[in-house]
């Protein structure tokens, strides 16, 4: 018996020692290497990336073989793809500053005069200062200011009367340019204190150049992966150059007009606020901040306004277009929003921002739209500014990180039936309040580079949708097929074009008092 006990003890000690040694070896090995796609010299992993899927779907599919976080080579650049929220938050929040860099690419350099803007500019003291000024100016003229609500309501009013005019003739309407004009005018009022009327040639020109930029910039096109391809004729790059030069002359015109009648005493708009910040920084050139502002050149101001303009228009109008497409696909959702509006707002007045709290179903629908069709499915790539790690994986300085918001918003462990459009997932069980059911929801990003226009975008989406749905029911024109919900991949994910019928709702008379 005694020898049996001794044997057991001996075995137990032996096993414990073995386990300890294995654990020690694992911890000595340190962070692990990431699983990687095969790569060849020069072309990198290009051969494994040939697929009919758009990049966000392909990166989601590749998880099955390589795990949620993996790496690949784009030309000579190592790129990490993050497909789940824990690692995404580590990159954006926990190690936000380490991952705050941006890659330089041929197309974004062309768009931003070598990264002198906020969205594509690399992390630096000048960038931080620059972002702070823009944030301050946006707060003053946008978020939280009563006047912005008035501007949005004015545009909603004009959008609805255009819709009435067209539908009175019984015509089907492509809402896309109308929604874009409404959103553009909000940004125009904010940036330049001006607006466009229907058919304005300058607005038509803006629509064209902006679409050209969205179609060609920052979509990991071949010139961005292999910069030496620039020396060959390239239709995409030619189009981008044309569009950027049209945009630049428009921005320059606005800038010159503002400089000509600038006064220190009146701030009419965001451009005035930026000019003022630039001048005051120049005047205080012996203070501590001024050391950081040396590079806040005219180019910086122009490129920033270009960012705000481009981001403000393309993102919000895209969400509204998706909203219309989904409401046509899901008439029962549209009906429930209208019922909520009828009860909480009625038809004697128009919806206003203070109604947001009492329209939870509409708010939940907006969240579900932002989840199911994220505006920027791959965000803008980040760059590690020093050696670091993501989870247990080591990451070397200079590595690019792409966060696949598409995977994060369609993660089956976080969302039940993620392909299903179901606003109720964002409501509590009584249907009386909005909730965020999963931490896997990041429509505006997070951390040092979080979207600057989040509050403005939410106000616009809420007001435009509530005004439209109070007055009209949107439906498919007879004989047309339902709009595709797939989306065209680019720096933003846009729906295909389609026409709608906007039928005035019974009880809504266009000549009724339309005060905001
Ligand atoms: C749209 C087209 C344009 O005229 C200018 C810009 C510059 C800013 C870009 C914008 C673009 C597309 C959406 C972006 C935005 C900066 C932040 C935003 C990429 C290319 C997003 O991250 C969704």
Closest CA to 370 of 427, 444, 310, 434: 444
Judged against a pLDDT cut of 80, whether residue 479 lies above it is answered with yes
Mean pLDDT of 355-374: 98
pLDDT band at 281 (very low <50, low <70, confident <90, very high): confident
Domains, the chain, ordered by start = 30-504 (1.10.630.10)
The DSSP code sequence of 406-473 is: HHHHT-TTTSSSTTS--GGGGB-TTSSSB----S---TT--GGG--TTHHHHHHHHHHHHHHHHHHEE
For residue 120, give the ligand 1 atom closest to its CA.
16
The pTM assigned to this predicted structure is 0.90
Please tell me if the CB atom of residue 380 comes closer than 6 angstroms to any atom of ligand 1. Answer: yes
Q: What is the pLDDT of residues 180-232, one digit of tens each?
A: 999 999 999 888 888 888 889 998 999 899 999 999 997 767 677 777 777 77
Q: Which atom of ligand 1 is nearest to the CA of 314?
A: 1
SS3 69: strand
pLDDT of residue 273: 85
The region of weakest confidence among 1-5, 454-458, 485-489, 492-496 is 1-5
Instruction: Classify burial at 353, counting beta carbons within 10 Å of its beta carbon; exposed 0-12, middle 13-18, buried 19 or more.
Output: middle
Exposed, middle or buried: residue 18 (CB in 10 Å: 0-12, 13-18, 19+)?
Answer: exposed
The token duo for 129 is 């200062």
Lowest mean pLDDT among 53-57, 395-399, 421-425, 509-513: 509-513
Share of the chain above pLDDT 90, in %: 66
Q: What pLDDT sits at residue 396?
A: 97
Tens of pLDDT, residues 101-157: 999 999 999 999 999 999 999 999 989 988 998 888 888 765 556 688 999 999 999
Tell me the per-residue pLDDT of 378-389, one tens digit each, with 9 for 90 and over. Answer: 999 999 999 999
Residue 218 Cα: closest atom of ligand 1: 20
Decide: 308 in ligand 1 pocket, CB within 6 A: no
Is the separation of the CB atoms in 81 and 59 below 8 Å? yes
Q: Which of 1-5, 33-37, 199-203, 488-492 has the lowest mean pLDDT?
A: 1-5
Determine whether the shortest distance from the Cβ of 115 to ligand 1 is under 6 A: no
User: Which residue has the least CA distance to atom 1 on ligand 1?
Assistant: 310
Asked if the model's pLDDT at residue 266 lies above 90, the reply is no
Q: Is the pLDDT of residue 308 over 90?
A: yes
Nearest CA to ligand 1 atom 13: 311
Q: Which atom of ligand 1 is nearest to the CA of 313?
A: 1
Distance 431 CA to ligand 1 centre (A): 35
Q: Ligand 1 test: best mutation among 374, 492, 493, 494, most atoms within 8 Å of CB? A: 492
List own/partner pairs for 168-176 with CB under 8 A and 24 or more apart. Answer: 172/477, 172/480, 172/499, 172/500, 172/501, 173/499, 173/500, 173/501, 173/502, 174/497, 174/498, 174/499, 174/500, 175/321, 175/324, 175/500, 175/502, 176/317, 176/321, 176/497
| The predicted structure's pLDDT at residue 384 | 98
Residue 390 near ligand 1, beta carbon < 6 Å? no
- Helices 146-168 and 175-192 cross at an angle (nearest 10°) of 150
Q: Which token pair is 155?
A: 């545009």
Residue 303 in contact with ligand 1 by CB distance below 6 A? no
Distance 155 CA to ligand 1 centre (A): 22
Pocket test for ligand 1, best of 108, 119, 219, 308 (most atoms within 8 A of CB): 119
Q: Which strand (E) or helix (H) includes residue 401? A: strand 400-403
Q: Whose CA is nearest to atom 15 of ligand 1?
A: 311
Q: How far is the CA of 309 from the centre of ligand 1 (A)?
A: 8
């Amino acid at each position: 018996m005694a020898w049996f006990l001794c044997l057991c003890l001996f075995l137990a000690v032996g096993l414990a020692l073995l386990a300890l040694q294995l654990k020690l070896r694992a911890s000595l090995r340190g962070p692990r290497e990431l699983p990687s796609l095969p790569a060849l010299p020069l072309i990198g992993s290009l051969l494994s990336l040939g697929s009919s899927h758009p990049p966000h779907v392909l990166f989601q599919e590749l998880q099955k073989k390589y795990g949620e976080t993996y790496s690949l080579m784009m030309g000579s650049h190592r790129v990490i793809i993050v497909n789940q929220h824990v690692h995404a938050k580590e990159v954006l929040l926990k190690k936000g500053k380490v991952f705050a860099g941006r890659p330089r690419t041929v197309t974004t350099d062309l768009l931003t005069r070598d990264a002198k803007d906020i969205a594509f500019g690399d992390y630096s003291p000048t960038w931080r200062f620059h972002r702070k000024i823009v944030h301050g100016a946006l707060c003053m003229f946008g978020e939280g200011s009563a006047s912005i609500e008035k501007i949005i309501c004015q545009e909603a009013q004009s959008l609805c009367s255009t819709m009435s005019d067209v539908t009175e003739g019984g015509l089907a309407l492509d809402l896309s340019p109308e929604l874009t004009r409404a959103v553009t005018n909000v940004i125009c009022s904010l940036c330049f204190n001006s607006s466009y009327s229907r058919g304005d040639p300058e607005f038509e020109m803006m629509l064209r150049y902006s679409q050209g930029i969205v179609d060609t910039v920052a979509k990991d096109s071949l010139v961005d992966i292999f910069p030496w391809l620039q020396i060959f004729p390239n239709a995409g790059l030619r189009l981008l150059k044309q569009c950027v030069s049209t945009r630049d002359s428009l921005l320059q015109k606005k800038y010159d007009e503002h400089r000509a009648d600038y006064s220190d005493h009146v701030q009419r708009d965001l451009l005035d606020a930026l000019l003022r910040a630039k001048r005051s920084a120049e005047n205080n050139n012996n203070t501590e901040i001024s050391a950081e502002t040396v590079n806040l050149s005219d180019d910086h101001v122009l490129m920033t306004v270009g960012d705000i303009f481009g981001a403000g228009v393309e993102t919000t109008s895209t969400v509204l277009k998706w909203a219309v497409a989904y409401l046509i696909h899901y008439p029962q959702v549209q009906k429930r929003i209208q019922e909520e509006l009828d009860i909480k707002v009625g038809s004697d007045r128009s919806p206003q921002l203070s109604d947001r709290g009492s329209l939870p179903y509409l708010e939940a629908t907006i969240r579900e739209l932002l989840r199911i069709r994220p505006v920027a499915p791959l965000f803008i790539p980040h760059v590690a500014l020093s050696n670091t790690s993501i989870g247990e994986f080591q990451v070397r300085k200079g590595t690019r990180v792409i966060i696949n918001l598409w995977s994060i918003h369609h993660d089956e462990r976080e969302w039940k039936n993620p392909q299903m459009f179901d606003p109720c997932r964002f409501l509590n069980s009584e249907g009386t309040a909005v909730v965020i059911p999963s931490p896997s929801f990041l429509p505006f990003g997070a951390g040092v580079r979080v979207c600057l226009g989040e509050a403005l975008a939410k106000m616009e989406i809420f007001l435009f949708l509530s005004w439209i749905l109070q007055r009209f029911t949107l439906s498919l024109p007879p004989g047309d097929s339902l709009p595709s919900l797939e989306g065209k991949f680019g720096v933003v994910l846009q729906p295909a074009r389609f026409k709608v019928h906007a039928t005035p709702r019974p009880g809504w008379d266009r000549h009724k008092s339309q005060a905001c």
